[in-house]
């Protein structure tokens, strides 16, 4: 079977990640042991993840965040700051959103205070 026309069609349909995943499977000898459904699922997952990552990157760029590379792991939870590591970890799960609980983070960068109705961890 000629793969080049199929690859061209995938790229024409803007399914570049699917094409790359398919080529990676062709190079991997272990992929032959997988069923068609498993291989197809891996290819579809690759395209889905690429699109989801691209969408997330676009949304983050459009948000014009003051610190775009900020992440929860970088928050300084030293005792002097007053940030409770357990409370921060619990807030990071975002379960409070589904439970319709309001969370208010007050104070300057030092010290930090969490006001919430979440139970203590």
Token duo for residue 25: 């499977």
* Residue-wise burial string across 8-20, b where 16 or more C-beta atoms lie within 10 A, e elsewhere: eebeeeebebbbb
pLDDT value at 19 more than 70: yes
Q: Which residue has the higher pLDDT, 90 or 1?
A: 90
What are the residues whose beta carbons fall under 8 Å from the beta carbon of 7, sequence distance 6 or more?
A: 19, 22, 23
- Quick: pLDDT tens for 34-73: 999 999 999 999 999 999 999 999 999 999 988 888 888 8
Q: Would the pTM count as exceeding 0.85?
A: no
**Is residue 110 helix, strand or coil?**
coil
Question: Could you give the percent of the chain with pLDDT greater than 90?
Answer: 54
């Amino acid at each position: 079977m000629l793969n080049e026309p199929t690859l061209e069609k995938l790229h024409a349909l803007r399914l570049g990640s699917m094409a790359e995943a398919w080529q990676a499977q062709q190079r991997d000898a272990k992929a032959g042991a997988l069923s068609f459904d498993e291989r197809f699922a891996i290819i579809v997952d690759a395209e889905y993840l690429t699109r989801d990552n691209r969408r997330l990157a676009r949304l983050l760029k459009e948000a014009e965040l003051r610190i775009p590379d900020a992440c929860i792991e970088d928050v300084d939870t030293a005792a002097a700051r007053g940030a409770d590591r357990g409370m921060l970890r619990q807030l990071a799960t975002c379960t409070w959103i589904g439970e319709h609980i309001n969370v208010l983070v007050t104070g300057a960068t030092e010290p930090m205070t969490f006001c919430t109705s979440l139970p203590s961890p």
